[in-house]
C-alpha cells in the first residue's frame, strides 16, 4: 500500500483482510489522496460495483469527515464529487455537516468559473405567448439561430371560452400536462436521456437524473403556467378560484362527492406564502380523498382529528391494477434490444447506420434474418422466441404489433395503464402478467387483486 495508493481498494474488497489489519489500513486511508472520492463513491454514488468495499471500524466517522474536509480544500478536486457532496444528506457512516456542503458548493462554483472562464457556452430556451391565431391551435417553431423552441396559443380561444371546465381542460388538451393515458408529462424519463447524459458524471443514489430534454420541458411548463395565469388575470379570472370550484362544486355536481373544501389564498398573497399554503392544501386534499374512498364522503370532524401526513404512494385508488411496471430482467432486455439506440441490432451491412433502433429499421425496410451477422443472431433468435419479432412471408422479419405497442409504451414512459388497453393489446398484457414479466400496483382496498 505504501508503494501504490490504488492497492488499498483491492484490499478493502476482502473483508477478512480489512478486519485483520484494520488499524494499519485506517492509518493509510487518512493519507491516501483518493480516500475522499472512494468514500463518496461507496456511500453516495449510484454505480455497479462488482464487489463492495469494507472500510475498517478503526476508520472512524470523524476520520472520514476529515478526509472530506481535506478534499474540498484541494485545487484538483473533481467537480462531480463536489456536487455529489453538496447535494447529499448526512449519515452515521459518512457525516456531512451543512458547513461542509456549503464549502463544497463554493469550491465547485469557484472551480467552474475558473474552468469555463473565457470559453463560449451553448444556450437554449423556450418562448411561450398568446396571440391572434385560429381557435384551439398551437403554433410551434424552432429557431436554430438561438436554439429557441417557440410556442404560441390562441387568445381568441381563451377569450371566447371562459367557463371553468374548459379552462381546466386547457391543461390537458392545450398545454398537455398529461398524455392520452393521463400520465403526468413532467417526469424525467430514462428514454429521454442522451448517451452522454446517461453515462457521464457521478450520479448520486438519491439523485433525480435529468437531461437537456427534461430541462426544456420544465422551462416550457413553467412559462405555460406563468403566461396562462397572466392571461386569465387580464380576463379577471383567478386560477385559484377555478381550483376551488373544482373541489367544492364540480365534484359534488358531477360525482355526488360531498364535503370537499379548498381554501384558495387571497389575491394579495405573495408567491412564498402561496407555496406554503399549497403544500398544506395538497396534504388536505389527499386526506379528504382518502376519507372519500373509505366512507364515500368527507367527514369534516374526522378530517380535523387527522394529524398524520398522507404519502402519495399510500393513496388508495378506485381502480384495481391501475398501473403496471416492468418486473424482470428479461422484459427490460427485450425493450432495450427493440428500442434502445445503443444496441448493435440496429445495424446491418445492408442498412448501415440509417436507423437508430431495431424497431425503426423493421418498420422502414425489408429485413431478413440472413441480413444479420452471426453474433447478432443469438439476440435476434431470442426476440423471435419472445414473440416480439416474427418471421413472416418470404422469411421477412416483422414485429408483433400488439406486444411491441405495450413494450414501447413501457419503455418510453416507465409505466403503463392496463385499464386503457383492449383487444389484442389486452390479451398480450394478460399473457405478460401470467409470465410475471410485469408487476401491477394495486391500491383498490375494497377489491384487492394479487400483485404479480
pLDDT at res. 440: 67
Q: Is 443 contained in some domain? A: yes
Query: 189-215: b or e for each residue (b if 16 or more CB lie within 10 Å)?
Result: beebbeeebeeebbbbeebeebbeebe
Same domain, 179 and 291: yes
Q: Quick one: 85 and 181 in the same domain?
A: no
Query: What pLDDT band is residue 33 in, cutting at 50, 70 and 90?
Result: very high
Q: What is the mean pLDDT of residues 129-137?
A: 82
For residues 400 and 283, the answer to whether their CB atoms sit within 8 Å is no
pLDDT of 448 over the 50 cut = no
What is the number of other CB atoms lying within 10 angstroms of the CB of residue 126? 18
Tell me the average pLDDT across 79-87: 91
Lowest mean per-residue pLDDT among 47-51, 390-394, 425-429: 47-51
| Domain contains 452 | no
- Domain presence at residue 360: yes
Higher pLDDT, 382 or 309: 382
Least confident of 229-233, 275-279, 361-365: 275-279
For the chain, the domain total comes to 3
Last residue of a domain, one of 288, 314, 340: 314
Of 94, 116, 138, the last residue of a domain is: 116
Judge if 227 and 365 occupy the same domain.
Answer: no
Residue where a domain stops, chosen among 116, 136, 155: 116
Phi, psi of 168 (to 5 degrees): -75, -40
Q: By residue range, what is the domain housing residue 388?
A: 323-447
293 and 154 co-located in one domain = yes
Say if 2 falls within a structural domain.
no
In a domain, 205, yes or no: no
The string of pLDDT tens digits covering residues 68-78 is 999 999 988 99
Is residue 87 over pLDDT 50?
yes
Distance, CA of 99 to CA of 106 (rounded, Å): 11
Same-domain status, 186 and 277 = yes
Residue 450 scores a pLDDT above 50: no
* Cβ atoms within 10 Å, residue 331: 21
In angstroms, the first-to-last Cα distance of the chain is 50
Contact 105, 85 (CB under 8 A): no
For range 335-350, the mean pLDDT: 86
Whether residue 16 is found in the same domain as residue 150: no
Amino acid at each position: 500500500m505504501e508503494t501504490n495508493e490504488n492497492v488499498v481498494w483491492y484490499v478493502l474488497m476482502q473483508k477478512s483482510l480489512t478486519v485483520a489489519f484494520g488499524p494499519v489500513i485506517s492509518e493509510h486511508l487518512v493519507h491516501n489522496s483518493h480516500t475522499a472520492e472512494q468514500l463518496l463513491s461507496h456511500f453516495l454514488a449510484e454505480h455497479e460495483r462488482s464487489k463492495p468495499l469494507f472500510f475498517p471500524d478503526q476508520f472512524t466517522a470523524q476520520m472520514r469527515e476529515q478526509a472530506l474536509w481535506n478534499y474540498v480544500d484541494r485545487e484538483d478536486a473533481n467537480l462531480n464529487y463536489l456536487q455529489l457532496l453538496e447535494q447529499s444528506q448526512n449519515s452515521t457512516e459518512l457525516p456531512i455537516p451543512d458547513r461542509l456542503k456549503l464549502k463544497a458548493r463554493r469550491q465547485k462554483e469557484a472551480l467552474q468559473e475558473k474552468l469555463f472562464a473565457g470559453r463560449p457556452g451553448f444556450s437554449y430556451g423556450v418562448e411561450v405567448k398568446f396571440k391572434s391565431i385560429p381557435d384551439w391551435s398551437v403554433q410551434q417553431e424552432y429557431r436554430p439561430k438561438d436554439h429557441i423552441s417557440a410556442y404560441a396559443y390562441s387568445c381568441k380561444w381563451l377569450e371566447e371560452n371562459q367557463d371553468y371546465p374548459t379552462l381546466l381542460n386547457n391543461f390537458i388538451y392545450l398545454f398537455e400536462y398529461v398524455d392520452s393515458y393521463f400520465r403526468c408529462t413532467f417526469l424525467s424519463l430514462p428514454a429521454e436521456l442522451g448517451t452522454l447524459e446517461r453515462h457521464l458524471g457521478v450520479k448520486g443514489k438519491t439523485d433525480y437524473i435529468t437531461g437537456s430534454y427534461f430541462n426544456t420541458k420544465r422551462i416550457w411548463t413553467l412559462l405555460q403556467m406563468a403566461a396562462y395565469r397572466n392571461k386569465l388575470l387580464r380576463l379577471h379570472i383567478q386560477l385559484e378560484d377555478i381550483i376551488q370550484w373544482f373541489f367544492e362544486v364540480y365534484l359534488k355536481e358531477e360525482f355526488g362527492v360531498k364535503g370537499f373544501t379548498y381554501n384558495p389564498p387571497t389575491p394579495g398573497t405573495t408567491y412564498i406564502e402561496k407555496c406554503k399554503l399549497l403544500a398544506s392544501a395538497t396534504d388536505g386534499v389527499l386526506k379528504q380523498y382518502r376519507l372519500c374512498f373509505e366512507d364515500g364522503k368527507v367527514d369534516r370532524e374526522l378530517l380535523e382529528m387527522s394529524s398524520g401526513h398522507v404519502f402519495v404512494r399510500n393513496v388508495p385508488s378506485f381502480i384495481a391494477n391501475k398501473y403496471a411496471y416492468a418486473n424482470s430482467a428479461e422484459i427490460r432486455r427485450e425493450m432495450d434490444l427493440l428500442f434502445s439506440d445503443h444496441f448493435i441490432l440496429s445495424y446491418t451491412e445492408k442498412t448501415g447506420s440509417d436507423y437508430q433502433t431495431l424497431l425503426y429499421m423493421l418498420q422502414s425496410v425489408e429485413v431478413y434474418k440472413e441480413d444479420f451477422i452471426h453474433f447478432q443472431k443469438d439476440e435476434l433468435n431470442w426476440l423471435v422466441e419472445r414473440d416480439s419479432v416474427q418471421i413472416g412471408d418470404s422469411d421477412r422479419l416483422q414485429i408483433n404489433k400488439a406486444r411491441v405497442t405495450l413494450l414501447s409504451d413501457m419503455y418510453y414512459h416507465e409505466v403503463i395503464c392496463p385499464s386503457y388497453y383492449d383487444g389484442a393489446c389486452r390479451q398480450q398484457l394478460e399473457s405478460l402478467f401470467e409470465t410475471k414479466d410485469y408487476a401491477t400496483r394495486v391500491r383498490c382496498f375494497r377489491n384487492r387483486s394479487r400483485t404479480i
